[in-house]
Copies of this chain bind each other. A is one copy, B any other.
Amino acid sequence: MPLIDSSIKPVVLASQSPRRIELLKKIIDQFEVQVSHVEETLDTDDPVTFVREISRRKAAEIAALFDHGIIIGADSIVVSNSRILGKPRNRDEAIEMLTFLSDRTHQVYTGFTIIENPGGKIHTDIEVTDVVFRKLKPWEIERYIDVAQPFDKAGSYGIQDESAVFVEKIDGCFYNVMGLPLTKLYNSLKPFFKL
């Protein structure tokens, strides 16, 4: 059994991201998945405020549906030189984003929010990881987009897929780059489960 026993309290993940589901399974044996419909826009230039608030909205939307349990929301963005990179809308945008990230360091921010019902006790935190991309050749970028179709991914890449070889090094939590900062989330969940 993973470290957290959800028979004590039911857990709901407010995200249908296959990567987040896969990661959460490493620490919680069973949980429900609910899709949030929060618009991922906010009038701020501050990455921390952004991911914190969007993760809170996602968790709050789903928490309204559950009288009893722990609800987890999360949101990730990619930032470099004050530019926030979301999901690419098409192939050209993906090419442009990866060309921008080439030979450069960027940050991946993930905000997460835990809400417990009944009562609505709330905990929010963020994690940030530095990611250094090596210099990419145009054919590598195009081949990658054709293979991986990274259109559902902030920054146009998923570190766990074929873009693994774009990454020179990371500094911080790896799983944060995948979409969920597992260690920080686990530590934050502990008090809710009296661990």
A contact residues vs B (CB 8 Å cutoff):
1-3, 23, 26-27, 134, 140, 143-144, 147, 159, 161-162, 164-175, 182-183, 186-187
Bound-state Cα–Cα, A153 to B13, Å: 31
10 closest residue pairs by CB, A with B: A165-B186, A174-B174, A165-B183, A164-B182, A169-B172, A171-B171, A165-B182, A26-B164, A26-B162, A27-B165
Which residue from B140, B166, B172, B175 sits with its C-beta under 8 Å from A164?
B175
Which residue of chain B has the shortest Cβ distance to A170 in the bound complex?
B174
Copies in the complex: 2
Q: What is the distance, in angstroms, from A135's C-beta to the closest C-beta of chain B?
A: 10
**Least Cβ–Cβ distance between A15 and chain B, in angstroms:** 18
Q: How far is the CB of A42 from chain B (nearest CB, A)?
A: 27
Q: Which of A26, A27, A159 has the most CB of B within 10 A?
A: A26
Some 17 contacts from A to B, beta carbons below 8 A apart, are A2-B147, A2-B162, A3-B140, A3-B144, A23-B164, A26-B161, A26-B165, A27-B162, A27-B164, A134-B183, A166-B183, A169-B171, A169-B172, A170-B173, A170-B174, A171-B171, A174-B174
Whether the Cβ atoms of B165 and A169 lie closer than 8 Å is no
Tell me the bound Cα distance from A78 to B86 in angstroms.
37
Contact of A143 among B3, B172, B183 (CB under 8 A): B3
Bound Cα distance from A182 to B3, whole angstroms: 30
Q: How far, in whole Å, are A186 and B147 apart by their CA atoms in the complex?
A: 17
